[in-house]
Chain A
Amino acid sequence: MTPILTTLTAIPALAAVLALFAGNRTSVARTIAFVATLLSLALSVWIWFAIGADGSMKFVERADWVPSLGIEYHLGVDGLGALMLLLAAIVSLMAIAASRKVATQPGLYFALILLLESGLFGTFTALNFFHWFLFWELSLIPAFFLIKLWGAEGRGRAATQFFVYTMVGSVALLLAFLALFLATGSMDFEVLTRMAATGELASAIQAHLGPITLWLALAVLLGFAVKVPLMPFHTWLPATYSKAPTPVTMLLTGAMSKMGVYGLLRLALPIFGHELAQVRTPLLALATLTVVAGAWAAAVQKDLKRVFAYSSINHLGYCLLAIFAVVLPSSSSATSQLSQAAALDGVVLQMFNHGLTAAAIFWFLTLLEERSGGLLGIDDFGGLRKPAPVFCGLMGIALFSSLGLPGLNGFVSEFLIFRGVFPLSWVSAAVSVLGLLITAAVILTVIQRVFTGPLPEQWKSFPDMTAGERVALAPALVLMAVLGLAPQLALGTINATVMHLLAGWRL
């Protein structure tokens, strides 16, 4: 059994060490990063196509690590994991491509990005808590330093907030899983899922620790609620996204936020689904709040980065909505099962879509920032479609995908989510539609303020996209269109995985 997954995780890590030696030479470091990420992308594409369509875990690697603590080296991917690997590779590649000018210590910069990528890969392939937690934390550190060292004015505080919030969530996760270990003697996700499905888990916890299963569930939830984020644990996000260097924001919104949703799907729902079902209503309320308030907040922002930061909150809110809708107190009817499947399909696809789209949007923002000399206010621009039609056109595609225009990828996932959520919880679905409407308004406003309208003097000679940039951005946009028009390319595998997962859960 060739250790494909280990190799995948190792490639960026090793490249990170190499990049450190590049020191001050941006081109060298960037090339190393490029090569490594391209390799990872190739490998993750291969994995995606190689896992087949039955939805079970593939490329499983197991080895004893510290048996006395239930720690095992256990890796594996199913459709969900493979899609996330693909996303991580794509977004990392985009981030590296967007990092053309690094003010200082480029070697360190690219090393940190590569380390972050490795952390992402590790999280998405881990099936034992220790290993998973190791990479979860491992991705936190480079992110912190990327914000802290290369960010804009006020980055210190933003980085601090980011660190503290995520740490608190991590501690909650750690404590919950330590408790699980104490009760069951295992840290393996698959084992714990099986135990949860048969009810063994609850009785084991009861026996060893008392009636705290719900508290454990909430602790785990907290860990992920901070990461996604779920309102009201989101307050770190706008500052962090806006102060971070924009390529780093691409990574944050494109990939790291998905770690939270992935965690919910891989850890929270399988192991604590039954407990979460007991608090479904408050959770749904919070998810709805996230959707609507996220969109609303985006509407009143004056800084483009903050607009899309809040918009990210909104888009991921749909994922949360779907996830919480799926935890039905009693799911037996076939229709609800279908809805659950649809909702989860939507979640998985939305993760990928939003990652792709948001990364692309922030990439465009980077280009905008470079050309404007650092300005990114929504009112700083206007009428750019005259001097830079291609730029506006391409960015428009990305924006419309975010809006959810049919024909682009964003629509499919949002549709699936609503298709799934309406039967399961029509109230939240109905209210969340507001989010769709507000988002539409936001995007259109951006387009109007930035692309159309009077053209200020200083932007008369706004440079359009160079050939290189067009080539670089094209694949992402093409992918958006392809997935929008032929979503079954991805949905086949996703659905198989979702059905497999649902079969194993007891909600």
Chain B
Amino acid sequence: MLALTIYLSFAGALLLALFPRAWGRASRVFALAVALSGLAVAVAGFIEAGTQGTVSVADVAWIPAMGIHYTLAADGISRVLVLLTGLAAVAGILFSWNIGDKDGDRANEFFAFFLALIGGVYGVFLSVDLFLLFVFYEIAIVPKYFLIAIWGSTRREYGAMKLALYSFAGSAMVLIGLLAAYAAAGSHTMNLHELAQYNFPISFQMWAFPLVFTGFAILAGMWPFHTWAPTGHVAAPTAASMLLAGVVMKLGAYGCLRVAMTLFPHGLDPWGFSFLGIGSWRTVFALFAAIGIVYGAAVALVQNDFKFVIGYSSVSHMGLVLLGLLTLTQIGLDGAVLQMFSHGILAGLLFATVGRIVYERTHTRDLGALSKLQLGKAMPFAAWLFVIAGMASMGLPGFSGFVAEVQVLIGAWQAFPWFAVVAGIGIVVGVAYTWRAMQRAFFSDAPMAAADGVPVPEYEPVTWAEKAGVLLLAATSLLIGLYPRLLLDVISPAVQALPHALLTGGRP
């Protein structure tokens, strides 16, 4: 049943491509309907599966001569991420509700690309055959390019091309690794589980693992390959930024876990020698992740473009996810997956606030300019939304981020104490940049009382679509923050079912 998410999205995309350009409003209503149905399927599938292990969704022979099958299945991790995709899709469309008001908006194309991207993402999360996973992964690249290049803002063509090329380069690296693994295992299967059983020689794993991991980590925004992310996010239109930071970066992290770490677990083993204290790929990537956490936060702290702050904060949060993955402990992996979900929702909220609610109305993202606009009074909805989203992003208990970050920190402490400290510092810096942005954009010390004679600028009221989107995301974050077991009960068994080598904490 979960496969319906994929089919509905692609069918919707195809139909929307055939809509006439003038049907702006109809396009967005149709797109919303498709996204809602996808979300409904995702939720239904999530609830129906409960805390079961893997739920098989489809298994059809595709190219039997090469051992390639159309196999879809969803374990706990996949179900959670599919749910995230559904939520992000609906929210994204709600926050793009202004597209379609004018003919020149090309609404049908926008929503067609949007749904195609969503379909690809659903596909990646549900694929068990590696060829199929790769196909869906690549399918997602082109819609991203067009979404940014056509409907984006600052330096959109450059941002779009950079994003597309980085993604493609990453996927090329992954393909090399996959092909090599396929050939080494006898070329008769592309099924993830079957390939994972195969004992690749350690020397093979030692180069295949970093190659495939890096390929996916590029998309996850791992330092130092993260530079596409801030540029791309800023260039993208709001819905695309929400999807990019919220869901697509998670594709990368998911790939790291599902493909690189599952197929080549011994690539994480110590090399036998150590260089400057680094003795395994695991340490290398954990170091990169930790640097990313702090670097992203530090750079966010000095940005003057509001959207760049959020863009770099995404890099920082994804660093936390990657660090969690590399702890190789149950709690760290649980935390990493939960953080994927939590950040997905929160990134959506943050980009929605900055892009849709603020930028659409004020036409500026410069914090200095915004600080003169008394937005705390003029746009109370946006201001308080950002307060809530910002607090959640900081890791305030009661929202989804807190439990996830605590889990990652605990796991990291057990695995790499120093990196845990670095991560902690990054989180604290996270408080600082969120708070700085919030201060400058909304609550700078302009006189509050209207009696002071400074007129409060008038802005268009918040639309129902924006309210609905905000409600959806904020409520989800709050719900998971207060009752994280809704997700953890599904994630933990799935993590436990991962290959044993991934849960040993690095000890042989």
A interface vs B, CB < 8 Å?
65-66, 68-69, 71, 103-105, 108, 130, 133-134, 137-138, 141, 145, 148-150, 155-156, 160, 163, 167, 171, 175, 178, 181-182
Contact = CB atoms under 8 A, between A and B. Distances in A.
Contacts of B397: 130, 133-134, 137
Nearest to B447: A153
Given A68-B334, A104-B449, A134-B398, 17 more contacts: A65-B483, A68-B492, A69-B406, A103-B449, A104-B377, A104-B450, A105-B377, A130-B397, A133-B397, A141-B396, A145-B443, A149-B448, A167-B431, A171-B428, A182-B410, A182-B413, A182-B414
B410 A149 contact: no
Nearest to B397: A134
Contacts of B214: none
A68 B331 contact: yes
A149 B376 contact: yes
A189 B331 CA distance: 23
23 contacts: A66-B484, A66-B488, A68-B331, A68-B334, A68-B488, A69-B406, A103-B448, A103-B449, A104-B449, A105-B377, A105-B380, A130-B397, A133-B397, A141-B387, A145-B387, A149-B376, A149-B448, A150-B448, A156-B439, A163-B435, A178-B410, A181-B410, A182-B414
Nearest to A103: B449
Nearest to B431: A167
Nearest to B449: A103
A435 B489 CA distance: 56
Contacts of B483: 65
Interface in B402-424: 403, 406-407, 409-410, 413-414, 424
Nearest to B445: A156
A149 B387 contact: no
Contacts of A103: 448-449, 451
A414 to B, nearest CB: 36
Q: State the majority secondary structure of interface residues on B.
A: helix
A222 B439 CA distance: 26
A19 to B, nearest CB: 13
Contacts of B391: 141
A456 to B, nearest CB: 27
B452 to A, nearest CB: 10
A178 B409 contact: yes
Contacts, number: 60
B485 interface: yes
A68 to B, nearest CB: 7
A199 to B, nearest CB: 24
Interface of B: 331, 334, 376-377, 380, 387, 391, 396-398, 403, 406-407, 409-410, 413-414, 424, 428, 431, 435, 439, 443-445, 448-451, 483-485, 488, 492
A134 B449 CA distance: 32
A178 B380 contact: no
A237 to B, nearest CB: 20
A160 B435 CA distance: 10
Given A104-B449, A138-B398, A65 B485 contact: yes
Contacts of B414: 182
- Ranked 6 nearest A-B pairs via Cβ: A134-B397, A156-B445, A134-B398, A103-B449, A66-B484, A133-B397
Contacts of A69: 331, 403, 406-407, 410
B485 A175 contact: no
A186 B413 CA distance: 17
A173 to B, nearest CB: 11
B380 A155 contact: no
A149 B443 CA distance: 8
A20 to B, nearest CB: 9
Contacts of A160: 439
Contacts of A148: 443
Contacts of B492: 68
Contacts of B380: 105, 108
Contacts of B449: 103-104
A172 to B, nearest CB: 11
Contacts of A178: 406, 409-410
Contacts of B396: 137, 141
A148 B450 CA distance: 16
Contacts of B435: 163
B410 A66 contact: no
A167 B376 CA distance: 23
Contacts of A104: 377, 448-450
A464 to B, nearest CB: 28
Contacts of A155: 445
Contacts of A71: 403
A134 B450 CA distance: 35
Contacts of A181: 410
A145 B388 CA distance: 12
Contacts of A105: 377, 380
Contact of B403 (A66, A163, A175): A66
Given A141-B387, A178-B410, A66 B485 contact: yes
Contacts of A171: 428
A137 B396 CA distance: 7
Contacts of A138: 398
A14 B431 CA distance: 27
Contacts of A65: 483, 485
A108 B387 CA distance: 13
* Most chain B CB within a 10 A radius of its CB, from A103, A108, A134: A134
Nearest to A23: B380
A181 B484 CA distance: 18
A178 B398 CA distance: 16
A160 to B, nearest CB: 8
A353 B232 CA distance: 58
A386 to B, nearest CB: 33
A163 B331 CA distance: 31
A369 to B, nearest CB: 16
A149 B397 CA distance: 24
Nearest to A175: B424
Count chain A CB atoms within 10 A of each CB in B387, B407, B485 and give the residue with the most. B485
Nearest to B444: A156
Nearest to A134: B397
A171 B426 CA distance: 13
B286 to A, nearest CB: 19
A226 to B, nearest CB: 15
Most chain B beta carbons < 10 A, residue from A104, A133, A160, A175: A104
Nearest to B377: A104
Contacts of B413: 182
Contacts of A163: 435
B441 to A, nearest CB: 13
Contacts of B439: 156, 160
A171 B492 CA distance: 27
Contacts of A150: 448
Contacts of A134: 397-398
A66 B484 CA distance: 7
A137 B424 CA distance: 18
Contacts of A68: 331, 334, 488, 492
Nearest to A133: B397
A126 to B, nearest CB: 11
A156 B444 CA distance: 8
A68 B407 CA distance: 10
B488 to A, nearest CB: 6
A178 B397 CA distance: 13
Contacts of B448: 103-104, 149-150
Nearest to A141: B391
Nearest to A154: B445
B444 to A, nearest CB: 8
